Structure 1
Amino acid sequence: MSQDLPITLTELRTVGLSELHKRWGWILALGIFLVALGTVALGASVFTSLVTMVFIGWLMIGGGIVQAIHSFTVKNWSGFFIDLLAGILYVVVGFLIVAHPAQTGIALTLLIAMFLIFGGIFRITVSLMHQFPNWGWVLLNGVISLILGILIWRQWPVSGLWVIGMFVGIDMMFNGWSLIMLGLVAKDIPKSGEVPETPEAA
């Protein structure tokens, strides 16, 4: 047996930090790219919404085709028709989304608004009724969700043309900034993350 095993948790952590340090430039560059892309997506939220819906539609078409093909590989299975019909449904819905991305985006935006409104009301009610530790943050989250849902709902169906693109842009920007911060921290890992050596036992 190898004398190098087992690898300690400290050694494993050091190897992981070293790998992060080696690639900090790529992480930083990816973060900057995502922030820039997110900014463009926010500036062209209508276009981003349409592209996102078309992308989702093609994903559903691809998934439906794969599922339909898979169903024929298990034709003797009792769930063959359910598997086949599910695949066909995915394909049909996917084509409808691709053919009508704006209408689909509007319908999805209404669902998002309802989810935010009811989710906000639920968080507000639970936090006020139970007042568990840090309940104020849950209350704030609920209030923000409720206000955001109402704003989207009040501007619907026009909001359906830009809300999804806005969410995609914001998500890209947050992911990008998190990668930028990670890259900057990873750059200094050998200094701040160095694990001091312990003297060997006599």
Structure 2
Amino acid sequence: MTFGSEMPDELREAIHETRTKWGWFVFLGILLLIFGGIAFGNLVVATVASVYLVGTLMLIGGIVEIIHSFGVKTWGGFFLWLLSGLLYAIAGFLAFYNPLLVSVALTFLLAVSLIASGLLRLWIGIRDRSASGWGWIVAAGIVTILVGLIIASGWPVNSLWVLGLFLAIDLIFQGWTFIAFGITLRSAAHHHLKPTPSPPAP
């Protein structure tokens, strides 16, 4: 018995429906590529947009924590959640009030995070030298540290464009990923719909 015959009808229909929507994935990928190109063309605007995105997420997180604080039974927990929510909400408000100032802080945090992540990868790779592929982990750690040091060396002047550059690169990678996924779905759909030859008559 083949795997396809064991597959439930609902799952088979869901897979078929997804394969028929391959064009939407390609369309979304093209849109992301366009947005990534626009972001590359104006990194300052892309930086502000990324700060607005972070600010929106922090505002939402702050409001959720404030609402959650009123459901906490203890006074200590109530004030802890309320204070955390207020700090998140204030940080989100500052992102909209002065996005360039917030971009300075976020760029610094990005540099520190990259250096810390690179050091961690470097330590893991050196510690597990007996494992296969440990050299790639060490190389990735070194590259990550170098990127963090480059960002830190140009801080705070580069705060105007670093976040925008990361946003543009992420949009372009996401765009190519969606396009490749859509093309894969299209090939799978054509293969699935291709009629199977009937067995020769005896």
Query: Common fold, TM-score beyond 0.5?
Result: yes
Partner Cα distance (1:52, 1:174) in 2: 16
2:20 maps to what in 1? Answer: 22
Partner Cα distance (1:85, 1:144) in 2: 38
Evaluate the alpha carbon distance shift between residue 179 and residue 145 of structure 1 in structure 2; reply closer, same or farther with a 3 A threshold: same
Evaluate the alpha carbon distance shift between residue 48 and residue 130 of structure 1 in structure 2; reply closer, same or farther with a 3 A threshold: same
SS at match of 1:26: helix
Evaluate the alpha carbon distance shift between residue 54 and residue 138 of structure 1 in structure 2; reply closer, same or farther with a 3 A threshold: same
1:199 maps to what in 2? Answer: none
Q: Following superposition of structure 1 onto structure 2, how do residues 171-186 of structure 1 map, counting pairs within 5 Å?
A: 171-186=170-185
Q: How many residues align?
A: 191
| Structure 1 residue 23, shift from structure 2 partner | 0.5
Evaluate the alpha carbon distance shift between residue 100 and residue 143 of structure 1 in structure 2; reply closer, same or farther with a 3 A threshold: same
Q: Say if 2:112 is the partner of 1:126.
A: no
Evaluate the alpha carbon distance shift between residue 140 and residue 189 of structure 1 in structure 2; reply closer, same or farther with a 3 A threshold: same
Partner Cα distance (1:171, 1:91) in 2: 26
SS at match of 1:133: coil
Evaluate the alpha carbon distance shift between residue 140 and residue 44 of structure 1 in structure 2; reply closer, same or farther with a 3 A threshold: same
Q: Following superposition of structure 1 onto structure 2, how do residues 152-171 of structure 1 map, counting pairs within 5 Å?
A: 152-171=151-170
| Structure 1 residue 58, shift from structure 2 partner | 3.3
TM-score, normalized by length of structure 2?
A: 0.81
Structural RMSD (CA): 2.7
Among 48, 51, 54, which residue is 2:52 paired with? 54
- Once the two structures are superposed, what CA deviation does each residue of 1:135-160 show, in whole Å capped at 9, x if it has no partner? 12112211210121111111111121
| Structure 1 residue 12, shift from structure 2 partner | 5.8
* Residue range with higher mean Cα deviation, 13-22 or 166-175: 13-22
- Once the two structures are superposed, what CA deviation does each residue of 1:50-75 show, in whole Å capped at 9, x if it has no partner? 12212322332343234334444x37
1:85 maps to what in 2? Answer: 83
Give the unaligned 5+ runs of structure 1.
1-6, 197-202
- The one-letter amino acid of 1:18's match is H
Q: Is the 8 A contact 2:20 2:189 kept in 1?
A: no
2:134 maps to what in 1? Answer: 135
Give the unaligned 5+ runs of structure 2.
197-202
TM-score, normalized by length of structure 1?
A: 0.81
Q: Is the 8 A contact 1:123 1:139 kept in 2?
A: yes
Among 93, 97, 118, which residue is 1:95 paired with? 93
Partner Cα distance (1:40, 1:85) in 2: 39
Percent of paired sites with the same residue: 34
| Structure 1 residue 128, shift from structure 2 partner | 2.8
Partner Cα distance (1:25, 1:187) in 2: 8
1:37 maps to what in 2? Answer: 35
Among 101, 107, 110, which residue is 1:109 paired with? 107
| Structure 1 residue 17, shift from structure 2 partner | 3.3
Partner Cα distance (2:133, 2:9) in 1: 37
